[in-house]
Chains A and B, each alone.
Chain A
Amino acid sequence: METFGAAGGLAHSKEFQAVILCGSGAKLFPLIDDNCPKALLPLANKPMLFYQLEWLETAMINDILIVCQEEAHKKINNYIHNVLNVSERYPNAKVEVIKSKGSGTSSADALRLVANRIKTDFIVLSCDTITNYPPNKLLDVFRIQSPTFTALFHEPLKAEGEVASSKSKDDDLIEYVAIDHSTCRLLFSVAGDEVDDELPVRMSILDKFPVVNIHTKLRDAHLYVFKHWVIDFLSKSKIQSIKEELIPLLTHFQYSEKVLKREGVEKYLKAGGLSYDEFYTSRHQSSTGGGFVNATYSQSMHEHYLRQNLHNPPSTASSTILLDDVEDDEVTTDFHKHIVCTALVAKEGYCFRVNSVPNYLEGSRALIKTITPEELVPRSVERAKGCQVGDSLVGDSCRVGEKTSIKKSVIGNHCVIGKNVKIINSVLHDHCVIEDKAVLEGTVVCANSKVLEMCNLKDCQVASGVSIEKEVQGKNETFID
């Protein structure tokens, strides 16, 4: 990656733009509030937005738009420019924070808001998508196959201990995702509530893609790479949700010429300025499924048409003329002509979404595993005798009391933890105070909160600035002001 980047960094800077969508995160209540918008929710002591920016940086994407709600705009802008200091940290990058109006804006609305700024193929990701999946793998699929979009899927984090089991499966609806892994084609994805007893699979799909894997465990990572024309299409349509409307519609386009016509996609495809080469590559990849053999084949086709061009000197509108020519003799095989949807399953590294409290806890644990032991507990931490810290991340300048045990947890900066405290599977944000003999299990304590002596909290959430009285016994509770 590094060698590649050194050579290709500049050349690729204009290849993709990225849009980070910062939603409201209702499911993360009470972890987030006005002071701490979702995008800045600390995850392993770093705001979530940090991870997306980091990922985009590895992907060598320098043109980044962050769309957030009005209320969060100031905070995020402040973080980007003053805390993170983007201009120094990523000197090549251009990061801009844009506020969307109204609180109920949908993901598609947010994209429409920045539609006129998007000039190239673009990446859309949600601010709760946390991954270190090698970006070049995703982008290379996009570059090679030249699909309409590439989506990233992930397997849900493995549930650990009791905390995880409390997460009922009901809120995560089953989704049937059909992927041909040899070509990375996403053939369809159907939500569990759309089908009754039987899942229908078109025979025509099976003819073109004889090996289809239908997954039920995969989750959409909300990380997509789109062709540029999609934004044009989107800005003219009434689509509200990217995940629930745009993606299914595009996948459906793959085999439904009629819907394609109804939606008038053709004109976007042409207006999108598919260059001559791109058109051929995409067409051939799409009709035959990609791969090396086909790549060479398309090359020869390309030459064939070039030769034709020699006979008929190209006019200024040569590309459109050719387009029409091709359509004429391709009538019978235009199964998936322009629309190709691809998907990858993140099998290496980590990939998850922080869209609920249990996921937040599991995500924190997953991140701990990726941090080196030296960094887990910095030197500035004061550790009293007999305290045990295992598989945990402890923030700067924390104090840990005697005989305290911390396992599989994240402790924020400047926390004070008393004696004989037990913290398991929990997350503490900055400036928390945990007094002696408290027991926390599967609990999130937000910034500036206090948990007094002898408390026993299990699977609880404590909002910021709250102080829990002595000897409170809590289970599955939420503490707010």
Chain B
Amino acid sequence: MATKPKDKAQAQEKVQVDEELVAVVVADSFNKRFLPLTEDKPRCLLPLANVPLIEYTLEFLATAGVEQIYVVCCSHADQIKAYLKSSRWGKSTFPKVNTFVSQQLASTGDALRDLDAKQLLKSDFILVSGDVVANMDLTKALEEHRARRVVDKNAIMTMVVKAASPAHRTRSKGEEGIYVLNAATQECVQYRSLFPIKQKLKLDLELFKAHSELQVRNDLIDCQIDICSVDVPALFTENFDYQDIRKHFVRGILESDILGKQIHCHIITDTYAARVRSTQMYDSISKDVMARWTYPMVPETNIMGTSYTHHSPYIYKDESVILQFGTKLVRYVVVGEKTSIGDKTTISESVIGRNCRIGKNVVINGSYIWDNVVIGDNCVIERSILADGVVVLNGVKIEKGSILSYGVQVGPEFTVKEFARLSLNKGRVDEDSDFDEEESDAESDDEEYDETQVGEDGKGYEKKDIIDADDDDDEEEHKAILAVCSIARDIQLHDIEDAVDEDTEDEDDLSDVDALERSHRELISTIERAFEENHSIDNIVLELNTLKFADNLDFHDIRLTAVPTVLSLVTNAATLQTTLKRWGGLLARFATDAEDQLDLLQILEEHCKTNDEHAKLFVKILTLFYNLDICEEDAFFVWFKKSSGKLRDSAKPFITWLQEAEEESSD
């Protein structure tokens, strides 16, 4: 009796062997958006609503009926392997989860090349990254894909995208793409990343010859779920410079005619799919999970064997949670097992992990607190991420956008400044590399933590270099993206863009205007707007940087614009002082080394030559530049040497004074 169904199953297997549904999960993000959290743990094991991200991905694939899952790991491969082995997937035969470790991978492209070399993929497969959260029905997309493949072997890939709106919270800021589709067939004929920002999307008229109606869509969420044919890894092998699947592969295929391959989109409207690309997305997707868009993947489904129950409005708590009478869970709250929360504590739009102890009178809003975190009394935590084992002593205020990595301790009576990233590891550690963290552990008892960074009894270092210094070729771009896609960064690329647009909208009428001049006008308007709305220097710098990438400018161009614009606020000696005090920092940010500062001074000189009013104030401006540390002495000396003319001469007393001052101090 027992043999019969088995025979049947085998027979079925034989029939279906060609169509075995295979998925490739790339369990590495290949970027640093989650640093310092990803120093110790791979991104796919980070908890989202107290469930590791990869669980969502695997559950999604299992629901879709995938039979074989290949998990490709790179950094922290041992952790992923160990996790999968111990979890329910380790024993699972349907789907069967296989892991591959390859330390040398630097991109999705590498991963696919690796798989191609191994010759594992013999049929169409689903390519997802290990941080996708979805409840969509893949069968429809698969059917469409297969139907197209039958007709035309060149339809090599189907990208799954979700309809949203341009400024949707679940669109990854800085990575939005514009899809140009054939309205009838959903064939993607052009893909362009919204970033760097351009004024216009240019559609090749050739496109219209093949497609009579094109649909331009700027409202899609890239779910990073691709249904690929076997040709895709082969194409990656052929084109060894393809790294990113969107930026390189899709554009490469669409823009080169030689290949003649087609990529289609499958637009989902009624189900959910999104990828945790950044901390901003982590925030949005957590909210989506709590608001039940991912149903049935919601906390009370308890896929991890927990015992969450759901209470209105959107409060999920485990049975073992201990609350005090005065504890207030407002809405959109998940509280994990055995966590206790003190009296008069208010929590809203947040996720609290397992075994946390939260004191009295604490206010937690929009934050993600992972396991074993201890929070003292009277703390305020605003839109931040607190990783496992963080200790927050009494009276600490954590401002928005902060990330406190594993084991960091802050306080007491201390304020963590907004967008701070604290970690126990002192040195910068690449997510990709297998860095040995033992030494930093050894240090942890030493009293060498900076009190201004973590407070009196704090443990941890502020990481400032996450955004800076990397030899990646398009790191410049990453920086700006990183800046906007962080948690709680409410600034949007669109904001910047809108402002730009208003001033250049009559472009059609002045279409011959030199591109350079146009970008200068954009710069000016951005700065002027900042003056009006009294932005912080940081924000202007960010906006200007964005423009800089968009229009391919260099820092010289920015300085060239910034100097006159800032000085335009100056009308007399009195306003000079206040203006430079407030906005001088802007100039300083764009003149960091001696060469830049020299350039700045030369620009200033040129400007003052044309503006009599400012020419009179020239020396005063120089003095203020010195006093406000916009330029250093050496820059003045070099400039003085190189320059000539009236203005130079007028600056002579100042330079002499400077030289004397220096000599004095060196004495």
**Chain A interface (Cβ within 8 Å of chain B)?**
174, 176, 178, 195-204, 206-208, 210-217, 252, 255-259, 335
A-B contacts at CB below 8 angstroms, number = 100
Further contacts, 14 of them, CB under 8 A, given A201-B200, A207-B497: A176-B208, A198-B205, A199-B203, A199-B204, A203-B197, A203-B201, A206-B178, A206-B216, A207-B218, A210-B218, A215-B212, A215-B213, A217-B213, A257-B505
Minimal beta-carbon separation of B288 from chain A (angstroms)? 19
Contact A202/B501 with A176-B208, A210-B166, A258-B506 known, Cβ cut-off 8 Å: yes
Q: Ordered nearest first, which 8 A-B pairs have the shortest CB separation?
A: A210-B219, A206-B218, A258-B506, A200-B200, A198-B202, A210-B218, A204-B501, A199-B203
Residues of B158-190 at the interface with A, using a CB-CB cut-off of 8 Å, are 165-167, 178, 183
User: What number of B residues sit within 8 Å (CB to CB) of A?
Assistant: 34
Contact B217 A211 (CB under 8 A): yes
CA of A258 to CA of B521, assembled, Å: 16
Encode contact with A along B400-438: 1 for CB under 8 Å, 0 otherwise: 000000000000000000000000000000000000000
CA of A255 to CA of B498, assembled, Å: 12
CA of A203 to CA of B502, assembled, Å: 12
With a cutoff of 8 Å between Cβ atoms, the chain A residues found around residue B183 in the complex are: 213
Contact A201/B213 with A207-B166, A257-B502, A259-B509 known, Cβ cut-off 8 Å: no
Q: Is B215 an interface residue when CB atoms closer than 8 A count as contact? A: yes
Closest to A200 in B: B200
Contact A199 B202 (CB under 8 A): yes
Q: Is B494 an interface residue when CB atoms closer than 8 A count as contact? A: yes
Chain B residues touching A, majority SS: mixed
Contact A202/B199 with A176-B208, A257-B505 known, Cβ cut-off 8 Å: yes
With a cutoff of 8 Å between Cβ atoms, the chain B residues found around residue A211 in the complex are: 215-219
Minimal beta-carbon separation of B495 from chain A (angstroms)? 10
With a cutoff of 8 Å between Cβ atoms, the chain A residues found around residue B200 in the complex are: 200-203
Contact A203/B505 with A213-B183, A214-B203, A217-B212 known, Cβ cut-off 8 Å: no
Pull 16 A–B residue pairs with CB atoms less than 8 Å apart, ordered by A. A174-B208, A198-B203, A199-B202, A201-B216, A202-B501, A206-B218, A207-B166, A207-B218, A211-B217, A215-B212, A216-B212, A217-B212, A252-B508, A256-B505, A258-B506, A258-B509
CA of A117 to CA of B549, assembled, Å: 56
Minimal beta-carbon separation of B123 from chain A (angstroms)? 34
With a cutoff of 8 Å between Cβ atoms, the chain B residues found around residue A178 in the complex are: 216
Candidate in A211, A217, A255 with the most chain B CB atoms within 10 angstroms: A211
With a cutoff of 8 Å between Cβ atoms, the chain B residues found around residue A195 in the complex are: 205
Closest to B217 in A: A211
Contact A206 B201 (CB under 8 A): yes
Encode contact with A along B215-246: 1 for CB under 8 Å, 0 otherwise: 11111000000000000000000000000000
Candidate in B197, B206, B213 with the most chain A CB atoms within 10 angstroms: B213
CA of A201 to CA of B215, assembled, Å: 12
Closest to B501 in A: A204
With a cutoff of 8 Å between Cβ atoms, the chain A residues found around residue B498 in the complex are: 204, 207, 335
With a cutoff of 8 Å between Cβ atoms, the chain B residues found around residue A216 in the complex are: 208, 212-213
Closest to A187 in B: B216
Q: Is B198 an interface residue when CB atoms closer than 8 A count as contact? A: yes
Minimal beta-carbon separation of B658 from chain A (angstroms)? 45
With a cutoff of 8 Å between Cβ atoms, the chain A residues found around residue B201 in the complex are: 200-203, 206
CA of A438 to CA of B501, assembled, Å: 66
Contact A204 B505 (CB under 8 A): yes
Encode contact with A along B564-595: 1 for CB under 8 Å, 0 otherwise: 00000000000000000000000000000000
Within 8 Å by CB of B198, from A203, A256, A259, lies: A203
Contact A258/B213 with A176-B208, A198-B202, A207-B166 known, Cβ cut-off 8 Å: no
Minimal beta-carbon separation of B519 from chain A (angstroms)? 15
Closest to A192 in B: B205
Q: Is B214 an interface residue when CB atoms closer than 8 A count as contact? A: yes
With a cutoff of 8 Å between Cβ atoms, the chain A residues found around residue B508 in the complex are: 252, 256
Contact B218 A214 (CB under 8 A): no
CA of A198 to CA of B214, assembled, Å: 14
Contact A210 B217 (CB under 8 A): yes
With a cutoff of 8 Å between Cβ atoms, the chain B residues found around residue A335 in the complex are: 498
Contact A259 B506 (CB under 8 A): yes
CA of A252 to CA of B213, assembled, Å: 22
Minimal beta-carbon separation of A266 from chain B (angstroms)? 16
Minimal beta-carbon separation of B328 from chain A (angstroms)? 30
Encode contact with A along B595-627: 1 for CB under 8 Å, 0 otherwise: 000000000000000000000000000000000
Candidate in A195, A204, A208, A257 with the most chain B CB atoms within 10 angstroms: A204
Candidate in A217, A255, A258 with the most chain B CB atoms within 10 angstroms: A258
Candidate in A203, A207, A217, A255 with the most chain B CB atoms within 10 angstroms: A203
Contact B505 A258 (CB under 8 A): yes
